[in-house]
Amino acid sequence: MKSLTDSYKLSNGVEIPCVGFGTWQTPNGDVAVSSVLSAIEAGYRHIDTAQGYGNEESVGIAAKKSGVDRKELFITSKLDNSEHGYEKTLAAFERTMKNLDMEYIDLFLIHWPNPIAFRDSWREANASSWKAFEELHKTGRIRAIGVSNFHPRHIKALMETAIIAPTVNQIRLCPGDTQDEVVDYCRSQNILLEAYSPLGSGKIFDVPEMRALAEKYGKSVAQICVRWSLQRGYLPLPKSVTPARIKENAEVFDFELEEADARLIADLKGCVGYSYNPDKTPF
């Protein structure tokens, strides 16, 4: 990967830019619009949102304001936890498309495999949502479909009834939280790993080893994290609302981490905490 517009190829042949711009915890309105515009101006072409983030409308506004051809942008959103099930998924998708004001979306994900509202019926709920996903995909309204926060058991259960396999699993992947079992399984199934919270939700800046590596390479801690994620074969989704940092987070293609340093980063176990168990999340 040599630039923001270089791509991974998903299992269905769709190309997805190798770094995405995350919008989790960015409030809908001027802040979200301006940050997404800054990202697009900095060269990002991959924008990640979700129904649960509440900022799809702002992403759509920014995409239009940018003046960049829609075909050059890769837009992802995710099904909200309360909307699992065939009919609810179809209705929720229509709301997403209205919010984004777009004719199609590039990637749509089931956000959580086992939200609390479906804890006793998550297999059936996921299967019926996936049926809706597959139908929307066949019509061309979704170019690729995938999942988020799924562990192998959730993917295996989904594949008992699925016709189309997930192309992506978006999970928390950051220094010290590498979710090796999930990653190894997804790679065996040709499922691309997207890394949300690649900066450990900001906690990474307090880790002495990361500050030392930033000094060694003459880069920021954030740049070290994004570069590490790429070298691991992940697709990182760094988030910021500050234009200078948005631009800086994308400037990761002019250096390479030594193998020993990449291993050191992976081995900082728990330095920014660990991902939620999706079967026990209280939402």
Interhelix angle 208-217/221-231, rounded to 10 degrees, is 90
For residue 252, being part of any structural domain is answered with no
Say which CATH number the domain at 99 has.
Answer: 3.20.20.100
Residue pair 177/199 in contact by the 8 Å Cβ criterion: no
pTM above 0.85, yes or no: yes
pLDDT at 14 over 90: yes
Residues 268-278: what's their mean pLDDT?
96
Q: What is the mean pLDDT of the chain?
A: 97
Q: How far apart are CA 207 and CA 174, in angstroms?
A: 13
Position 200 scores a pLDDT of 93
Residue 247 lies in a domain: no
Q: For residue 246, tell me if it sits in a domain.
A: no
Between these two residues, 229 and 201, which has the higher pLDDT value? Answer: 229
pLDDT, position 270? 96
Residue 269 lies in a domain: no
53 is annotated as an active-site residue: yes
DSSP state of 238: -
Q: What is the number of structural domains in the chain?
A: 1
Instruction: Give 5: exposed, middle or buried? Use CB within 10 Å, 0-12, 13-18, 19+.
Output: middle
**Active site residue: 8, 44, 53, 234, which one?**
53
At residue 209, the pLDDT reads: 98
Judge whether residue 202 has pLDDT over 90: no
CA 59 to chain centroid? 15
* Residues 160-181: tens digit of each pLDDT: 999 999 999 999 999 999 999 9
Q: Which domain holds residue 187?
A: 7-201+234-241
100-145 per-position pLDDT tens digit: 999 999 999 999 999 999 999 999 999 999 999 999 999 999 999 9
Span 62-91, mean pLDDT?
A: 98
User: Which residue type occupies 96?
Assistant: T
Q: Per-residue confidence at 211, pLDDT binned at 50, 70, 90?
A: very high
Q: Where are the beta strands (DSSP E) in the chain?
A: 7-9, 15-17, 21-22, 46-48, 74-79, 105-110, 142-148, 168-172, 192-196, 235-236
Contact, 200 vs 175, CB < 8 A?
A: yes
Report the range of poorest mean pLDDT among 1-5, 52-56, 137-141, 233-237. 1-5
Residue 21 domain flag: yes
- Per the domain annotation, does 74 fall within a domain? yes
- 283: in domain: no
How far is the C-alpha of 133 from the C-alpha of 248, rounded, in Å?
35
pLDDT of residue 201: 85
Mean local confidence (pLDDT), 181-209: 96
48 touches 23 (CB < 8 A)? yes
Please check whether residue 26 lies inside any domain of the structure: yes
Proportion of the chain above pLDDT 70, given as a percent = 100
